[in-house]
Amino acid sequence: MNSKLENIKKLEISKPLKLDCGKTINNFPLAYETYGKLNENKDNAILVFHALTGDQFVAETNPVTNKEGWWVTAVGPGKAIDTKKYFVICANVIGGCMGSLGPRNINPETKQPYGLDFPVITIRDMVRAQESLLEHLGIKKLLCATGGSMGGMQLLQFCATFPDKTFSAIPIACSSSHSAQNIALNELARQAIMADPVWDKGKYFLKNVQPKNGLAVARMVGHISYLSEKGMQEKFGRKLQEKADYEFSFNADFQVESYLRHQGYAFVERFDANSVLYISRAMDYFDLSKQFKGGLVEAFKNQKTKFLIISFSSDWLYTTKENKDIVIALNASGTDVSYSEIITDKGHDSFLLDVPEFLKTLKSFIDSMYDKFKNEKRI
């Protein structure tokens, strides 16, 4: 896996980045991927921010895992975000484990992987790091930026920090501040990792091992929260896993157990336990209103970006109410904002799945924004 990580696109950022925790990082790698072509006018660029366990490989095949990109439902030739028409960019967040600076990288001071010596990062740190990438690609203003879940949180931060860097923005199924329930679920995931003896206070890398059991449980927690009660009941019900009756054991009798175990242990193959700790912490610390004296309304003041907020009716992780609060703040700040609630049983995961109403809305908005952006540039 490591040799494959050598061959992916990386930008070495030499400009020092002062983190919210007070520490500064410099000369660090930011791994990214692009799809489609940037046109001559450079007005067809779309930046995608990925979620907690995502990476830069949005579409096509992920060259490291050889699996499909995480957003193939929405991004690709002829898809809602059409790569024949648009230039799609996505960067791995700092703190991640797909090539950008993260706890697995070598700490220049100790010549060992950082582990828990890696500085605690925030959503704002992630976003600031990605700004250099736009500069590197020669893009002054994006046509659109989008992202679901933590990707949406990064996007809100991006718009608040850089009010004129994107013509339009589509935050999907996210929140402007992490709720108590979401912090609690993240804490559950972290505790699962830290309770695994292999984790060894984050020093597992010295023995070249992963706290697999803890990390898998952490992923299972996540997976439960990405589905809805109704969706889960419909998909699994009480169906048994390739057996006629109970085994009277603690093996995975039920399909839902088997599903969770599969998801949990598949995740271990591609993700780093310490990265989960760092990225989930960044989500918990996210509270955009706290950064501005006048709260959330102030965060969006002087905003030129045209927003479309999308929520999913059965999402109990980032609820319609939380998404609507963003709409209310944008409205109060006089920002151009649209909002749509997609009715679906597929829960928080909806943005990654084939939900036609959602994909249609995404496509309609981006295409209409492209027409407007071209016109604006012409004038």
Partner 1 sequence: MKKEFKVIADLLPNNTRVLDVGCGDGSLMNLLEKEKNIEVRGLELNQDNVQQCIHKGLPVIQGNAETELHQFPNQSFDYVVLSQTLQAFYNPEKVLKELLRIGKSVVISIPNFGYWKVRTNLLFFGKMPVTKTLPNTWYNTPNLHMCTIKDLFNFCDEKNINIKKVIGVNENKTSLIKKSNLEIKNLFSKLGIFLIG
- Pick 189 or 326: Cβ nearer partner 1: 326
Q: Catalytic residue, from 43, 125, 315, 349: name it.
A: 315
Indicate whether 174 belongs to the interface with partner 1 (CB under 8 A).
no
Residue 203 Cα distances to 12, 216, 297, angstroms: 26, 18, 43
Binders in 336-355 for partner 1, by CB under 8 A: 336-343
Annotated catalytic residue 177: no
Sheet strands (E) in the chain: 10-13, 17-18, 24-25, 28-35, 45-48, 75-76, 81-82, 87-91, 106-107, 112-113, 142-148, 166-172, 306-312, 337-342
Pairwise CA distance, residues 286 & 294, whole Å: 17
Least distance in angstroms from the C-beta of 376 to partner 1: 12
Site string for partner 1, 289-328 (x = CB under 8 A): -----------------x-x---------------x--xx
Out of 212, 235, 270, 372, point to the residue binding partner 1 (CB under 8 A). 372
Beta bridge partners of 12: 29
Indicate whether 106 belongs to the interface with partner 1 (CB under 8 A).
no
- What contacts 190, CB < 8 A, 6 or more positions away? 218, 276, 277, 280, 281
Pairwise CA distance, residues 96 & 150, whole Å: 13
Annotated catalytic residue 348: yes
- Pick 200 or 325: Cβ nearer partner 1: 325
Indicate whether 146 belongs to the interface with partner 1 (CB under 8 A).
no
Q: Compute, in degrees rounded to 10, the torsion defined by CA atoms 157, 100, 354, 39.
A: 80
Least distance in angstroms from the C-beta of 357 to partner 1: 7
Annotated catalytic residue 136: no
Beta bridge partners of 81: 75
Tokens 């006629």 belong to which residue? 244
Indicate whether 360 belongs to the interface with partner 1 (CB under 8 A).
yes
Q: Catalytic residue, from 132, 176, 348, 349: name it.
A: 348
Least distance in angstroms from the C-beta of 50 to partner 1: 24
How far is C-alpha 118 from the chain's CA centre?
Answer: 20
* Residues acting as catalytic residues: 149, 315, 348
**Which residues are near partner 1 by CB under 8 A?**
306, 308, 324, 327-328, 331-332, 334, 336-343, 357, 360-361, 364-365, 368-369, 371-372
